[in-house]
Amino acid sequence: MADTQTEQPQLYLITPSEFELSQFPDQLAAMLDTHPIACVRMAMASNDETRISKAADALREVTHARDVALVVSDHLAMVDRLGLDGVHLSDGAHQMRYARKELGPDAIIGAHSGTSRHDGMAAGEAGADYICFGPVRENTLGDGSFAESDLFKWWSEVIEVPVVAEGLLDVDMIRALAPYTDFFGIGDEVWNAEDPIAAMGELIAAMD
């Protein structure tokens, strides 16, 4: 998932935490056929290996047929076995060196660093392909902290590792962050909408 230095940020699509295998692969295919998605993250809440394996098989068939990378959240040991392109680490600052050693130089390994510039830099120095910050605005979950626009602005000016803005995105936040981020990580923002494909189109339009 390389930063291609395009003028517009690229789209990093995150699956719902729960989805029906009888329906979601077709929804994903329609999304990928309509909008230019650079990478898909399978972000299931389940830790059931059988369920994750079945989902990975179904989604890999959809993504790889369209030459789109598929990574999984945190299940490092399953990447090679399931034929996935890499892993997204929720605690990348502490796991990155081990993950890179296990998966090798070609795997996509990303790190979620919350609102911490320090954690992001540590993960980047340890070999992350991208650093993800978010949520991007205040919310009622957790301690209410969020990644401010200045963090993305600073990162884009100083650090070469691609940065992803993720969490509670809306049209206004996408418009504000588009000049400073390489990717937008978009998930529930579209999947919770009545028409996910149209919702994605509205977010893409806000980048201009």
Q: What is the CATH number of the domain that holds 84?
A: 3.20.20.70
Among residues 82, 184, 121, the alpha carbon closest in space to that of 111 is found at 121
Residue 141's pLDDT band, with cuts at 50, 70 and 90, is: low
Domain assignment of residue 139, given as a range: 10-205
Residue 1's pLDDT band, with cuts at 50, 70 and 90, is: low
Residue 3's pLDDT band, with cuts at 50, 70 and 90, is: very low
Give the whole-angstrom CA distance, residue 111 versus residue 65.
26
Residue 194: per-residue pLDDT:
97
Longest dimension (CA), the chain: 45
Residue 93 lies in a domain: yes
Residue 46 lies in a domain: yes
Task: State the total domains in the chain.
Answer: 1
Residue 2 lies in a domain: no
What does pTM read for this prediction? 0.94
Residue 96 lies in a domain: yes
User: What token pair was written down for 164?
Assistant: 């992803």
Give the whole-angstrom CA distance, residue 152 versus residue 136.
10
**Distance from the first to the final alpha carbon of the chain:** 22
Residue 143's pLDDT band, with cuts at 50, 70 and 90, is: confident
Q: Kind and range of the H or E element at 27?
A: helix 24-34
Average pLDDT over residues 74-96: 94
